[in-house]
Every structure is written in structure tokens, then in C-alpha cells.
């Protein structure tokens, strides 16, 4: 590992405070870059705070503040007495960070991780909407995946997933596709999802969707439009889910 130059700004450089960036932000940027470049992979332990401090030429407290922010962003996980680790896409994380549907009665638990049935997986040129959603170049190819998701064999979700083909080369070779595909993104394609934006609407079930969910045409469905972002900040997944919310609800915490 080569020594890295992180410089404290002198007051002269900083007079008038144009573009002042605290040291810990530079440290955080360094660490993020290494994570993006896969110097450390999901599940790996990072060097200790002390080691990083010496290597980067800053105090432990400054490294600490950088790691604290990465922890808040679910990029890194800290365990007292053990170390700091690159966050993994465990089933628990999928359930509590990326699956906000919860049963009306009872608590959410591992029994509430939905099974998936793959209906189709094709590729083609990105439409205008797909290009806009995933920030793609003209004529770029995408994967399009359709799947149904069930909970204890009751249909719950019909969804379509769109992915840039360049980032997920060989996706069609992987069989079977797991239900928790973000773990796959991590492990096979090196794309770590770290956050997502969802837009929700209530819509009437169209005929095809109704059939997939075993409900009547026109049934009110919760439509979830998700864009998921990788560590690099790039949008790498566009997903639209139609959910039956007779016995489930979507949870949102305002704070």
C-alpha cells in the first residue's frame, strides 16, 4: 500500500474559505475510493483506526470521524473489539433496509423474506425512460427481468427489473437467480448497492398484472418505482414493483 498524501490546509490556503474541506472529509474520500476500487471487498476487515491514522498521517480521531460517516451510510460495519468491516448484503439487510413491506398482523422476521419466481430475462436497447432512469448512453443495452414474489406461497409482488447490461455481463448464465439479488450484485458483479430512492403510487391492476397476482383487474395495487445506487453513486438498477397490500403495508419512518 503506497503512502497517501492528505494535507491539512494552512490558513493561507483557506482564507476566504473558498472550498474548505475538512480533513476527515478527505480521509473519507480516500477510503471510499479504495472501496470503489475493491482494495477491500464486502466482508473484509479494514485496517484498524490506528493503522489508518498512521498511514494517512492524521490523528485517530480524524479517521474515526470519517469511519463514523461511512457507518451511518451503511457502507461499513463496526464491531467493538473485532474491527471495521465492509458491509455485506445479508438477507437481514435485504429484509430491513430494502424490503419495506410488513405484515399487518405480527412482526416482520426471516419468514417474511419473499420467494421469487423468474418469469423472463431478456436484453435489448434501452428505451428513453430506461436511459433516463439509469443514466445510460445512447444505444446502450439493458437486461429486463420479470419476476413474481410470494410469501408463504401467497402472491404478493409482480415486478420488473432493468439493469445496464455492461455492468452485469453474464447475468443470463447464472441459474438459478437468488431472491436477494443485491448479494449477487456484490459478489459476482462488484456492484454494491448502498441506497435507493422509491416513489410510491396507488394504481389499478392491469389485466396482465392482475393475472400474475391472482386478483381482479382494477384491484388497487401499491406501485413502487425504485432506483438503486451503487457505491460509486451510479444508478444501477431500476425496478417497478406492483404489490398487493390487502394484508401487508409499506413502512416509512419520518425523522
Partner DNA sequence: AAGTGGTCTAGACCACTAA
Partner DNA sequence: TAGTGGTCTAGACCACTTC
The answer to the question of residue 22 lying near DNA (CB under 7 A) is yes
Of 110, 243, 117, nearest to 179 (Cα)?
117
Give Cβ neighbours of residue 14 (< 8 Å, ≥ 6 apart). Answer: 20
How far apart (Å, rounded) are the C-alpha atoms in residues 165 and 112? 30
Question: Whose Cβ is closer to DNA: residue 85's or residue 98's?
Answer: 85
**Which partner, its own copies, DNA, none, binds residue 232 by CB below 5 to 8 Å per kind?**
none
In angstroms, rounded to a whole number, what is the distance separating the alpha carbons of residues 57 and 52?
8
Output 44 or 225, the one with its CB closest to its own copies.
225
Residues 82-141 that bind DNA (CB under 7 A): 82-84
Check: CB of residue 87 under 8 Å from CB of residue 77: yes
Whether 75 and 220 have beta carbons less than 8 Å apart is answered as no
Place of cell 451503511: 74
**Beta carbon nearer to its own copies, 161 or 165:** 161
Question: How many Å apart are CA 121 and CA 137, to the nearest integer?
Answer: 22
Of 31, 49, 75, 94, the one binding DNA by CB under 7 A: 49
Q: Is 20 in the site for DNA (CB under 7 A)?
A: yes
Binding footprint of its own copies on the chain (CB under 8 A):
73-74, 97-98, 100, 102, 194-204, 218-223, 225-226, 243, 245, 248-255
- Binding residues for DNA, rule: CB under 7 A, are 8-9, 11, 14-15, 17, 20, 22-25, 46, 48-51, 57-62, 64-65, 67, 78-84
Amino acid at each position: 500500500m503506497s503512502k497517501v498524501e492528505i494535507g491539512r490546509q494552512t490558513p493561507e490556503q483557506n482564507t476566504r474559505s473558498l472550498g474548505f474541506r475538512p480533513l476527515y472529509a478527505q480521509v473519507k474520500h480516500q477510503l471510499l475510493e479504495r472501496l470503489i476500487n475493491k482494495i477491500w471487498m464486502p466482508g473484509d476487515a479494514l485496517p484498524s483506526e490506528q493503522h489508518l491514522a498512521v498511514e494517512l498521517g492524521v490523528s485517530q480521531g480524524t479517521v474515526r470521524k470519517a469511519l463514523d460517516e461511512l457507518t451511518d451510510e451503511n457502507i461499513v460495519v463496526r464491531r467493538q473489539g473485532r474491527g471495521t468491516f465492509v458491509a455485506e448484503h445479508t438477507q437481514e439487510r435485504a429484509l430491513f433496509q430494502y424490503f419495506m413491506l410488513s405484515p399487518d398482523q405480527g412482526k416482520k422476521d426471516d419468514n417474511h423474506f419473499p420467494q421469487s419466481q423468474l418469469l423472463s430475462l431478456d436484453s435489448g436497447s434501452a428505451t428513453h425512460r430506461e436511459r433516463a432512469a439509469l443514466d445510460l448512453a445512447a444505444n446502450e443495452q439493458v437486461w429486463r427481468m420479470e419476476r413474481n414474489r410470494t410469501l408463504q406461497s401467497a402472491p404478493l409482488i409482480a415486478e420488473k427489473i432493468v439493469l445496464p447490461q455492461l455492468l452485469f455481463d453474464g447475468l443470463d448464465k447464472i441459474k438459478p437467480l437468488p431472491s436477494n439479488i443485491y448479494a449477487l450484485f456484490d459478489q459476482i458483479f462488484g456492484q454494491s448497492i448502498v441506497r435507493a430512492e422509491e416513489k410510491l403510487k396507488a394504481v389499478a391492476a392491469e389485466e396482465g398484472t392482475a393475472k400474475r397476482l391472482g386478483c381482479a383487474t382494477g384491484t388497487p395495487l401499491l406501485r413502487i418505482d425504485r432506483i438503486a445506487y451503487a457505491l460509486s453513486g451510479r444508478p444501477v438498477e431500476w425496478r417497478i414493483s406492483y404489490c398487493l397490500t390487502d394484508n401487508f403495508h409499506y413502512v416509512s419512518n419520518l425523522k
